[in-house]
Amino acid sequence: MTAPLLAAIELRKRFGGVPASDGVSLTVSPGEIHALIGPNGAGKTTLIAQLAGALRPDSGRIELAGRDITALGPSGRVRLGLARSYQVTTLFGALGVLDNLALAVQARSGSSMSFWRPAAREKALYEQAAAIVARIGLAGRESVAAAHLAHGEQRTLEVGLALATRPRLLLLDEPMAGMGPEESARMLALIQQLREAEPALSVLLIEHDLDAVFRLADRISVLVSGRVLATGTPAEIRADAQVRKAYLGEESA
Amino acid sequence: MSGILILEQALNGLQFGLMLFLLAAGLTLVFGIMDMINLAHGSLYMLGAFLAATFVSLTGSFALGVLLAVPATAALGMLLEMSLLRRLYARDHLSQVLATFALILVFNEAVRIVWGTDLPLAAPEALSGPVELFPGMLYSSYRLLIIAVGAAAAGLLYYLVAKTRIGMRVRAGASNREMALAMGADIPRLFTVVFGIAAGLCAVAGALLGPILAVQVGMGENILIVAFVVIVIGGIGSVRGALVGSLIVGMVDTIGRAFLPIAFGAFLPPQLASAAGPATASVLVYLLMAVILTLRPQGLFPARG
Amino acid sequence: MARLRPGAVVLGLVVAAALAFPFVMRAEGDAYYLSFASRILIYALAATSLNLVLGYGGMISFGHAAFVGTGAYVSSILLAEGVASAWIGWPAAIAASALAALAIGAVSLRTRGVYFIMITLAFAQMTYFLVNSMKAYGGDEGLTLPARARVGGGIDLDDAQTFYYVALAALAAALVALHRLAHSRFGRVIRAIRENETRAEAIGFPVYRYKLVCFVIAGAAAGLAGALLASHGKYVNPSVLHWTQSGSLMVMVIIGGVGSLWGGALGATALLGLEDLVANHRVAWVAALLPNYPQHAGLAVGLVLLAVVLFAPQGIAGLLARRPR
């Protein structure tokens, strides 16, 4: 078995008296789509926050391609190829779609400690941004301010921003949150296209839409009360008695 | 350096700290509950002092003057909240800073127009002499009164916040406003009441410190910044943090100013010591704040996790 | 024939007026307003430097007076000690302010929101108290300087007109630099951070570092304003570091237009102009209500500021921008 791209080892995080992460361990292999499911309050977003570097675990380790990144901040992790999209839309609202993406491209294209030359003249930045716009299906909306986009378009841009950093691993926190069936189907197709275009890209995906999860994922981990209850292929998870009892049984679609 | 001197300075520090607490408690509650920066808090302190001086000279009684000034200031504070400050809750911090800074300017000038630049306020006759705490130790009886009132106010506030229903709503509002709203708390009225209490506390501090620090225009600004340091150290939104912070700051500042120059003189050449001593003493609390913040950026007892 | 954009025409007129101003004043024989105009230019520079941090960077720094004051005091101390050359004094002032900004920023920028505002305020007060206790350089009485800094090469700063042009050049340089900065890569990052700091960090920008650099640049520019201020009045005293001075600078920025290129300049002109108006130009009906109202200029400023915050938060620049083209 190939070495995992991302490994979370015994992560623990408490808020006051409540353990949000209670010894979470999981791995993501190169090129796999790994879904994380679990009831509300299971600690999924807390886990993503720790993986992305926004939250420091109380104990435990996080390794990216074998390298310990536990002490690294979010921007450092992005530079190593770990990018995140947020459950609550977090965009540069006043800026247009193209400008949003251009910023992400700028972040990975050399130093931005440049104080004199106008950035607008950098054609390469904008060409790459335009390519991403097309790829995520927002062509024609380049100059619309992010705050004025439809909800589904905003969620798409969320994913697009993470993509624009050329990651090895995408952490997607409920990309389909608040989307209707049509938009969800488009997001599903987008994620599938991503994997086809880049077989080496890994994705760790939190999603409540179980239908989509079982269609997309290579492996699924079930998080309950801050712990990984089970990890396996969709078929294995579906068949797992513990999972059925703890989660699938009470799941309301 | 006698033990009596140290004790005297410690008591002074306690006195200053307790008065700081009266200001800081109101300030931190307003921050914590209404999420509003109120630079005009010092102006309420100043108004309390001026009103007290006025009532004292009208009634001839110190106690009566102070007792009238407190509800008067509280009423003015609530009026201010309802007419103007309410509009700032939803605005961003910069707008709040600038609007309340504008209020400082307006209040300073308004007070100057109505009363002039300063007013005399003397401690009551009965308390103008010292009290013998124990043989050999004399301490100003007025300052003892301040300590007593301050401690009583702290106790009362603790009781109010920790043991009453209003206090429960206040604490709920401080840690989670949306939840408090959802549970039916009448938020606008709660805010007005909180602001009134804060204004009243400011008035007590202003009136009591008036005889010691002088009742004059601009008196609020100096103590306001120290109050800010207190709540930053203590943790915004926490009354307990305000108390701990006030006592720490009060003690450090008073004892530092009294003894640091002497301490410097012990191992620095006199030229340097006479400059560095007072200089360091005056910035000691800020250095303390910097150190605490480097270690705990949220302060000692942050109300929100 | 090329078509001139209205903005370029206005800019041209403003520049022409600014350049012609001293000659007009000389013709009128009025020395006071020339000196006053220089003072406006210096404050415009200071306010513009604050605008970088506040308007573009979104950092509500209530301690900017500390950097203006550091620049003023460093250049004054050098002058008092006999180092008359501006070529040493002014770069020293800029470097000292930049260093102060680095120190204060490094600690303050680790905090957020309300904490940041209060910490910058507290640190500025700290520098005020430190300077106040420097008995060797006047303490709270301040320091009077023997002469303005010396530039050499035929430029005599003691001549009011020359000083005006030097101040004008400094402001112009700052505005050009701000304009380029805003559109540079760095400027984009700073504005992105203001827009959504979390997102900026999440696409790979080390936010703390960028904020700190921005803070230091602004501090350096404020230091130059301080040096000019000290030379202008040939006097410096600790009140230049007082937090109410920081407040005044913020007032200028908000009145002028936070985040707009001309915000600092417009605001400085408006505020200082208002104060001068109240102090020196008697308005009969106000005098009837309040006989010595000029002594209460603060009231006017406070009320204007309240009005701006409540009703025109984008300031003068915002009002101008709203007019249909």
Q: Which pLDDT score, from 0 to 100, does residue B181 have?
A: 65
- Decide if C301 and B105 are in contact by the 8 Å CB cutoff: yes
| Whether the complex's predicted ipTM surpasses the cut of 0.85 | yes
Query: pLDDT: is B273 or A61 the higher one?
Result: A61
% of chain A beyond a pLDDT of 90 = 58
Distance from C256 to chain A by nearest Cα, in Å? 22
Per-residue burial over C247-275, b if 16 or more Cβ lie within 10 Å, else e, is: bbbbbbbbbbbbbbbbbbbbbbbbbbeeb
A79/C contact by beta carbon, under 8 A = yes
Instruction: Give the DSSP H/E element, type plus range, for residue C325.
Output: none
Cβ-based contacts under 8 A for chains B and C: 121
- Decide if C205 and A84 are in contact by the 8 Å CB cutoff: no
- Decide if C250 and B282 are in contact by the 8 Å CB cutoff: no
Distance from C216 to chain B by nearest Cα, in Å? 19
Q: Which pLDDT score, from 0 to 100, does residue B100 have?
A: 93
pTM score of the predicted model:
0.88
A143/C contact by beta carbon, under 8 A = no
% of chain C beyond a pLDDT of 70 = 95
Chain B residue whose CA is closest to C133: B279
Which residues of chain C from 98 to 127 reach within 8 Å of chain B, CB to CB? 107, 110-111, 113-115, 117-119, 121-123, 125-126
B294 vs C contacts (CB less than 8 Å): 107, 110
- Decide if A113 and C186 are in contact by the 8 Å CB cutoff: yes
CA pair distance A248, A230, nearest whole angstrom: 13
Distance from A200 to chain C by nearest Cα, in Å? 20
Average pLDDT over residues C64-72: 96
Instruction: Give the DSSP H/E element, type plus range, for residue C241.
Output: none
- Decide if C192 and A95 are in contact by the 8 Å CB cutoff: yes
In this complex, which of A52, A91, A103 lies closest to C188 when CB atoms are compared?
Answer: A103
Asked whether residue A253 carries a pLDDT value surpassing 50, the answer given is no
Interface probe with C: pick from A45, A48, A51, A75, most Cβ of C within 10 Å: A75
Whether residue C149 contacts residue C157, with contact meaning beta carbons closer than 8 Å, is answered with yes
Question: Residue-wise pLDDT tens for chain B (305 aa)?
Answer: 577 888 888 999 999 999 999 999 999 888 888 888 899 999 999 999 999 999 998 988 888 999 999 999 999 999 999 998 888 888 888 888 889 999 999 999 999 888 988 888 887 777 777 877 777 778 888 888 899 999 998 888 888 877 777 777 666 666 666 666 666 667 788 888 889 999 999 999 999 998 888 898 888 988 998 999 999 899 888 888 899 999 999 999 998 888 887 887 777 777 777 777 777 877 888 888 888 877 887 788 876 53
- Decide if B97 and C60 are in contact by the 8 Å CB cutoff: yes
* Residue A252 binned pLDDT confidence (cut-offs 50, 70, 90): very low
C207 vs A contacts (CB less than 8 Å): 75
- Decide if B228 and C111 are in contact by the 8 Å CB cutoff: no
Distance from B147 to chain C by nearest Cα, in Å? 27
Chain A residue whose CA is closest to C184: A118
Tokens, residue B166 = 């209003």
Q: Which pLDDT score, from 0 to 100, does residue C183 have?
A: 93
Q: Which pLDDT score, from 0 to 100, does residue B69 have?
A: 93
Could you tell me the maximum CA-CA distance found in chain A, to the nearest angstrom?
Answer: 63
In this complex, which of C60, C295, C306 lies closest to B94 when CB atoms are compared?
Answer: C60
B286/C contact by beta carbon, under 8 A = yes
In this complex, which of C184, C189, C204 lies closest to A108 when CB atoms are compared?
Answer: C204
C206 vs A contacts (CB less than 8 Å): 73, 75-76
In this complex, which of C130, C290, C301 lies closest to B279 when CB atoms are compared?
Answer: C130
CA pair distance B106, B28, nearest whole angstrom: 23
- Under DSSP, the state recorded for C240 is G
3-state helix, strand, coil in chain A (%, to 5): 40, 25, 35
- Under DSSP, the state recorded for C152 is B
In this complex, which of C107, C121, C306 lies closest to B225 when CB atoms are compared?
Answer: C121
When the pLDDT of each residue in chain A is averaged and rounded to a whole number, the result is 89
Average pLDDT over residues C23-42: 84
- Phi, psi angles (nearest 5°) of residue B246: -60, -45
- Decide if A74 and C183 are in contact by the 8 Å CB cutoff: no
Whether residue B233 contacts residue B288, with contact meaning beta carbons closer than 8 Å, is answered with yes
pLDDT in tens, A127-166: 999 999 999 989 999 999 999 999 999 999 999 999 999 9
Coil, strand or helix: which one is C84? coil
- Decide if A115 and C186 are in contact by the 8 Å CB cutoff: yes
pLDDT in tens, A77-134: 999 999 999 999 999 999 999 999 999 999 998 888 889 889 888 889 999 999 999 9
CA pair distance B288, B269, nearest whole angstrom: 25
Distance from A80 to chain C by nearest Cα, in Å? 9
Tokens, residue C71 = 């620049």
In this complex, which of C188, C195, C201 lies closest to A119 when CB atoms are compared?
Answer: C188
A186/C contact by beta carbon, under 8 A = no
C206/B contact by beta carbon, under 8 A = no
Chain B residue whose CA is closest to C54: B94
- Decide if B221 and C121 are in contact by the 8 Å CB cutoff: no
When the pLDDT of each residue in chain C is averaged and rounded to a whole number, the result is 88
C323/A contact by beta carbon, under 8 A = no
Cα torsion C106, C108, C109, C115 to 10°: value is 170
Q: Tell me the three-class secondary structure of chain B, residue by residue.
A: CCHHHHHHHHHHHHHHHHHHHHHHHHHHHHHHHHCCCCCCHHHHHHHHHHHHHHHHHHHCCHHHHHHHHHHHHHHHHHHHHHHCHHHHCCCCHHHHHHHHHHHHHHHHHHHHHHHCCEECCCCCHHHCCEEEEECCEEEEHHHHHHHHHHHHHHHHHHHHHHHCHHHHHHHHHHHCHHHHHHCCCCHHHHHHHHHHHHHHHHHHHHHHHHHHHCEECCHHHHHHHHHHHHHHHHCCCCHHHHHHHHHHHHHHHHHHHHHHHHHHHHHCCHHHHHHHHHHHHHHHHHHHHHHHHHHCCCCCCCCCC
Chain C residue whose CA is closest to B88: C310
In this complex, which of A73, A78, A112 lies closest to C186 when CB atoms are compared?
Answer: A112
A86 vs C contacts (CB less than 8 Å): 198, 202
